[in-house]
Structure formats: structure tokens, C-alpha cells
Structure 1
């Protein structure tokens, strides 16, 4: 059996790791679907609870703020807990958050459910990233993280579009009830299938002098997420104002998700072979797709084609930054994951909030131009992070 040593701990052999990696991917699928569900149902939730679309978009921002504030502190506080028990507890909290949201009669109660989910999410990704790294040999880190991250793309491909279609057909409350049931199923799979790994003992494997590079990586990550979610939070609004019908939104999101999954499929192996080049190419394609959406609006065909490019390239972005952060060796994989999780959600919160303001004050095209500028800034900082290697 091949053994991996990551952060001073023995990992699970690569042949035995695949079932565990797949279970982690399923957990990511459920987690991302929980996080992004309001995006597809934003107009329906706004109408049902009699609030504006821009106010409803704050459900995404509020969730993200909880993650951003809690990710690093929770990772530090729980660093001595056994990983499997900790992950089971997190999935239980996710389930509770969806039950509260499903039963919510008011916007305030729905916000409470989202707060519980946000705190769960704050710890979830640091645990999952560290877990995946410890299951495989170091040379397979990029592929393992890409496979785990594919759960996010499947969430966009299947979870969000199907939940959107269901919510539009029978009510958004039902979509949250279904998601709560999915969380329970994933929790059972974790209990039965996932092998346990040791908790990280120390950060002794960290390389001195790499904190500056790590800071640049997480800054670039935050900017990329600002760019994406400035527009993606309001993607249903973009599609509806481009001429799509309400019934067509879910199928179009499905198309976007399929392209995101293809992006993960093709991009994952290159993160181990040529991480810097593939990262810049991926970010460049995200920027091109967003700019094309701005130029193509309000013509639906142009927006859909641009959205396929943008979301296809976005698929492997999480893996890009997870791999880059872990490979700085500035800290443990768990804390690297926590910083990526925190800054991702800073980006989501800022992007959703700014996007809502610009949407209300100017329009959806202006949202897209702002998103493009943030992605270009993310590329510039990422280049600087690769230059400052020592």
C-alpha cells in the first residue's frame, strides 16, 4: 500500500483513498448546493416573503459573512478533534440549517437558518481540504482536491438547477426540505464509508518566509470570488432580463453547471503538471466569459454562450487556489483550507452585496463590467504570488 506523509501524518494509501474522496465530493456537493440554493430561487423567495431581489441576495452575503468570520477561528479551535467525528457534527449542523430554512415563515427566520448553515460551512471546507490531502500521496494533491471540488461543480450542474426547478414548481420551502434529507444521506455515507485520519498535530512542516506568498494567494482568491459572485448571485436576474422565461432559468443553469464540471474534469490533472500556467489560463477564461456576457447583454443567445465559457472556466477555480495555498507550505493543510474558505466567502459576501447595490442603482450590465475588473485584479495578484516564491 502506498503511504502518504502530509504534515507529519501518515496518509491512507491511494488505492484505498478513492471511496473516501468520492464521499468527500458528495459532502461538498451537498454543502455547495446549500450555499447556492438562494441564487436560483432568488426571485421566488423575494416574491414569497415580499422583499426586494437585492435584499434577498443578502442571504448569500450573510451566509458568506458567517463563513468568513468563523473559518479560521473554528479551524484553530477544533484542530485536535478527530476528523471524522468533526465532519459528522458539521453535517448534522448543515441538516439543521436546512430544516430551519425549510420551515421559515419570514425572512428573519430564513436568515437564522442561513446563519447556522454559514457557521457549518465555516468549518466544513477546512476539514474537507485537510482530509483530502491526508488521504493521498503528495504528488496527487491536485487531482484529489480537483475530485473533491468536482462535488461543487455537480452542485451547480444538478443540485442548484434541480432545486431551482423544484422550488419554482412547488415552492422554495420544498427545495430546502429535500436538501435536509440529502444532508442526512451524506452523513450516513460518511459514517459508513469514510476512513478516519489523524487530527493535525502541529504546523511543523511549514516553511519559514512563505506567509507573504500565502497572503497574496488568498488575496487573489478573494478578488476572484468578488468578481464571480458580483454577477453570479444575480444570474437568474441576468437571464430573465435577457429574455429567458422563468421556466428556462433552471435548464440554463444546468448547462452552465455541465460546463463547470467539464472544466474540473479537464483542469484537474493540469494542476499537478503545470499549476501556474493552468491557473492563469483558467482565470483568464473566467474574465473573458464575464466580459462577453456584458457585451452580449441583453441578447439571450450571447449571454448563454458567454455564461457557458465563464462558468466552465470557473469550475476548477476552487481547486486552483486550494492547491496553491497548500503548496506554499506556509501552514498546515487545514489552516490553508480555512484561509481559502474564509477569503472565498469574503469574496462571495462582498460580491453579492456590491452586485446588489449596482443592480439596483445602475443595472445588470454594470454588474458584469465590475465583475470583469475584479477577476483581472485577481490575475494580477496571482502573478505576483508566483513571482514572490521566496
Structure 2
């Protein structure tokens, strides 16, 4: 894999740390800004909403911008939003900074996903996506637990400053490692923006986007509210939140790495095996969450299955949107973050039910069940191997 791809992954690491770190900080944020934990969970949804809106909008605006300067501008705006978030005492302002950060993240990821597909041969798109998403999984292994520990020891604001600081070396890497050329699809005879947007009328593209959103909703529904499960249900100390997050991140790294080698040629295998196991795993975690050993084991397994299945479906989005070369990354980003927005909202409604802290885990099971019910009768459409010719290396 080319070096620029790893530089993009480094930036995704900083952004992934921010997106996931709230899972370990929600109780502290809620207490500090005087809102409930459920309300604080809306920060995750606000971030995801900004990603959903921002991905296609910013990708459309930036489709002919110089790629390096676009990526650099997005990551610097992301850092600035975190600096403001670190000093505010107002929940509405904090929410607004999450939306702004999400818009910058959306623009970055939409451009980066498209760039990643053009840096590798046409049959390696899944592996390129796995490298890019490894920034997110490493964030869940190191960045998020580190942020949780930092938040426990120094306060949640310190983690926001840390994320802002993480963006600076990533920005330098982009400045020195990403070519400065423009994206010139239309000049090269590529499709117009209208033609790229028209790809959203394709049933197969919409289907894989929907399934990717449902799986990611299940992931975020539980991940966002893991902290109270660890401390209240399992009865563990606050520092165990970081351990559990490390286990989830380690599982996600394993899942996305394995899926990266299968999602190009054998997506059906990943979906057929991973889907039912993921569905079984969430209720099992809800039932066994009061047993620390079972909790830790299942969190690892669910992290692996969630990211294996999710990354495979998102790879399918890139394949199905191959005729929208400058917008495909935004479609994948939107699918991911529709799930990230819906998941915590659904999970938050379960916290005041009899299920309590375990409600999000049951909600995750239902979301995966919905995905399986949709996918099963249409499984030949979902798992069609390379049914759409992907971008070739060098195309943009």
C-alpha cells in the first residue's frame, strides 16, 4: 500500500478518536454541563448528523478543488472546532462544535475515501479501505481508551485539547505526502455532478447503503453507552471503561483487517457468516453483561464482527458507486453516519425503560435483525462479487 494512504489513515485516527471518545466521557460531560447522560449522548448524534449532511454537500463543493489543500483545510478546521469545544461551558455551543467538526470530518473522509480508491489497483479497493479505516480502529484501541484515561485523570476537556494537538502532525503529513493536483473529472471527460448524483437511484447502491447504515447504527447504539454498562451493570471501576474500549477497538482492528482481505472477492462469505453471529452477540452481551469476563470477551467479539460486516458493506457502496468517482466516498460516509446518528437516538430511548443500561444492547440486536431481514431475500444483490467495475488506479 502506498505511503500517502497511511498518511490519510493517520488523520482518520485523529478524527476517529474524536468520534468515538465520547463513549468513555459522557458521564463526565453530562455532569460538567448539567445535562442527563441521555442528552449528552446527543453529542454523538449531532456529530453524525453533521457527517451525513456534510459528506455529499462538501464532496460536491470540493470535487474540483486541489486534493491536498482540501484535506489540509478540513483537518485544520476540525482541530479548531475541538479547541473551541475544550473551553466552552455551554452545552449548545459544545453541540455546535461537534456539528462543525463533523462537517470538516465529512469533507475530509469523503475526499480521502475517493483518494484511497485511486491510489491502488482496481481490485484492491477493499484493502485500501481497510488501511484507511485502520485509522479508526487504532483510534478505538489507543486513542479512545487513552482519551478516557485522560478524561478520568484531568477532565474531559483535556481530551478535546489532545485531539486538536493530534491533528497537527497529521496535517504536516498531508502537506508533505499528498500530491497537490486537482480533481478534474469533468475536464478529463468524467461524469458530471448530476450524473454522479443520479447513481443514488440505483437499487443495489441504495440497498447496501441502507444495510451499512443499520449495522453501524447497531454498533453506535451500544458503543456510545458502554460506560454505564461497565461501571453500573458489571460493577467495575471507572478505569475499566478504558480496558473495555481497548478490547472493542482490538476486535474492530481484527475485524476490519480480515474483512479487508475478503471484501473485494468474497463479500457474500463475510455477510453470511458475520451477520447472524453479530445478531446473536448483542443479546448475549445484554444477558451476560454483569459477568466481567463474559463482558470483556463479547465486547471484543462484537467489535470484530461489527467492523468486519460494516466495512464490507461500505466497500460494496464504493463498488456500486463506481460511476460516481468523486462522490462515492461521500455516499459511503453518509451511510456510515446515518447509522451513527440513528443508533444513539434509538439507544437513548431505551435507557428509561425496564432494560435500563442494557437497553442499548437489545436495541443493537434489533437493528442487526432488521438488516438481516432486509438482506436475506435480496442476498444475491448484496453479495454480488464485484458487480460494478471499481475505480482504476489513477482515476479521480
What corresponds to 1:138 in structure 2? 122
Correspondence 1:235 to 2:226 = yes
Q: Is the 8 Å Cα contact of residues 37 and 163 (structure 1) preserved in structure 2?
A: yes
Correspondence 1:70 to 2:54 = yes
233, 257, 260: which one aligns with 2:249: 257
How far apart, CA to CA, are the structure 1 residues paired with 2:199 and 2:328?
15
What corresponds to 2:361 in structure 1? 368
**Number of aligned pairs?**
374
Q: Is the 8 Å Cα contact of residues 285 and 313 (structure 1) preserved in structure 2?
A: yes
How far apart, CA to CA, are the structure 1 residues paired with 2:364 and 2:236?
22
Q: Is the 8 Å Cα contact of residues 75 and 338 (structure 1) preserved in structure 2?
A: yes
Change (3 A) 1:167 1:174: same
Query: Which secondary structure does the structure 1 equivalent of 2:57 belong to?
Result: helix
RMSD, matched Cα: 2.2
Query: Which secondary structure does the structure 1 equivalent of 2:28 belong to?
Result: helix
Change (3 A) 1:200 1:347: farther
Report matched runs for 1:116-131 at 5 Å: 116-131=100-115
Offset from partner CA, 1:267-287 (integer Å, 9 cap, x none): 211112312212332333332
Offset from partner CA, 1:176-198 (integer Å, 9 cap, x none): 11110101110011101223454
Report matched runs for 1:278-293 at 5 Å: 278-293=270-285
What corresponds to 2:301 in structure 1? 309
Q: Is the 8 Å Cα contact of residues 219 and 364 (structure 2) preserved in structure 1?
A: yes
Q: Is the 8 Å Cα contact of residues 270 and 308 (structure 2) preserved in structure 1?
A: no
How far apart, CA to CA, are the structure 1 residues paired with 2:200 and 2:358?
42
Report matched runs for 1:367-386 at 5 Å: 367-383=360-376, 386=379
What corresponds to 1:7 in structure 2? none
133, 143, 154: which one aligns with 1:170: 154
Query: Which secondary structure does the structure 1 equivalent of 2:263 belong to?
Result: helix
Correspondence 1:152 to 2:164 = no
Q: CA deviation at 1:355?
A: 0.8
How far apart, CA to CA, are the structure 2 residues paired with 1:148 and 1:208?
24
5+ residue gaps, structure 2, are 388-396
What corresponds to 2:210 in structure 1? 219
Moved more, 45-54 or 271-280: 271-280
Change (3 A) 1:334 1:361: farther
Query: Which secondary structure does the structure 2 equivalent of 1:51 belong to?
Result: coil
How far apart, CA to CA, are the structure 1 residues paired with 2:14 and 2:274?
25
44, 52, 55: which one aligns with 2:28: 44
5+ residue gaps, structure 1, are 1-16
Query: Which secondary structure does the structure 1 equivalent of 2:264 belong to?
Result: helix
How far apart, CA to CA, are the structure 2 residues paired with 1:166 and 1:236?
15
Please report the TM-score for the alignment, with normalisation by the length of structure 2: 0.88
Q: Is the 8 Å Cα contact of residues 271 and 279 (structure 1) preserved in structure 2?
A: no
Report matched runs for 1:18-33 at 5 Å: 18-33=2-17
What corresponds to 1:86 in structure 2? 70
91, 95, 117: which one aligns with 1:111: 95
Q: Is the 8 Å Cα contact of residues 296 and 302 (structure 1) preserved in structure 2?
A: yes
How far apart, CA to CA, are the structure 1 residues paired with 2:200 and 2:221?
34
Please report the TM-score for the alignment, with normalisation by the length of structure 1: 0.90
What corresponds to 1:5 in structure 2? none
331, 345, 351: which one aligns with 1:359: 351
